[in-house]
């Protein structure tokens, strides 16, 4: 009987080990592939979660801003509609003569009290009067130039007449003050 060659035995062992190693590597590779797939899914879900969280935070901030703006400026239409009431009451009070005050003091006092209450309600809701004075500088953010005229003793851009007061609602203009502006050049 021929003795088995040591090389044949080693070849069989090497082949068995190689096959076992190949199967092990195949299993590891499949496990690694599956693990890599799970990791990729996890990362994708984490990314989606972080984006959804950021979007929710942005929506909350937007809703807060919208709510604040609605609180502050939601009544601007009503406020604007009440401005002619203020103007008419102011004109009525400005036109009262001393004889009328003496003849009807209660009536005049009632109109003055109503005017003060209207101003208090305006203030309570953030409406304030913009009352420029003659001689002030024209500010296009607060004033509307109704006319320009040269007036001796004034500089160009000085207010020379106030036709109507303006109004602000918080930091927004409801109605600019209507003024006449000097066009005198030095």
**DSSP characters over 7-22:** HHHHHHHHHHHHHHHH
Parallel/antiparallel/unpaired status of strands 177-182 and 159-164? antiparallel
What are the pLDDT tens digits along the chain (186 aa)? 455 555 565 566 677 777 777 777 666 777 888 888 999 999 999 999 999 999 999 999 999 999 988 888 888 889 999 999 999 999 999 999 999 999 999 999 999 999 999 999 999 999 999 999 999 999 999 999 999 999 888 889 999 999 999 999 999 999 999 999 998 875
Q: Tell me which DSSP letter residue 159 carries.
A: E
Measured from the Cβ of residue 148, the count of other Cβ atoms closer than 10 Å reads 15
Which fold, 74-182?
Answer: Nucleotide Exchange Factor Grpe; Chain A, domain 2 (2.30.22)
Task: Let me know: does 68 contact 167? Beta carbons within 8 Å.
Answer: no
Q: What's the start-to-end Cα distance of the chain, in Å?
A: 133
- Hey, which bits of the chain come out as E strands? 127-130, 143-149, 159-164, 166-169, 172-175, 177-182
Task: Let me know: does 181 contact 170? Beta carbons within 8 Å.
Answer: no
pLDDT digits (tens, 9 = 90+) for 135-177: 999 999 999 999 999 988 888 999 999 999 999 999 999 999 9
Q: Distance between CA 28 and CA 45 in Å, rounded?
A: 25
Domain parsing of the chain, residue ranges: 1-73, 74-182
Angle at 185 between CA 184 and CA 186, to 5 degrees: 120
pLDDT digits (tens, 9 = 90+) for 24-33: 766 677 788 8
């Amino acid at each position: 009987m021929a003795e088995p060659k040591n090389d044949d035995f080693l070849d069989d062992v090497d082949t068995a080990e190689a096959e076992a190693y190949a199967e092990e590597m195949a299993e590891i590779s499949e496990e690694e592939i599956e693990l890599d797939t799970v990791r990729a899914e996890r990362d994708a879900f984490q990314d989606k979660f972080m984006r959804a969280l950021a979007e929710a935070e942005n929506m909350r901030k937007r809703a807060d801003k919208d709510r604040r703006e609605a609180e502050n400026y939601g009544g601007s239409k009503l406020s604007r509609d009440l401005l002619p009431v203020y103007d008419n009451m102011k004109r009525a009070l400005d036109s009262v003569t001393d004889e009328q005050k003496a003849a009807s003091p209660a009536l005049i006092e009632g109109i003055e009290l109503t005017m003060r209450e209207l101003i208090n309600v305006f203030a309570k809701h953030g409406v304030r009067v913009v009352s420029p004075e003659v001689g002030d500088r024209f500010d296009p953010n607060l004033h509307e130039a109704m006319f320009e005229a040269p007036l001796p003793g004034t500089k160009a851009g000085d207010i020379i007449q106030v036709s109507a007061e303006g109004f602000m609602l918080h930091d927004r203009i409801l109605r600019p003050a209507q003024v006449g502006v000097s066009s005198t050049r030095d």
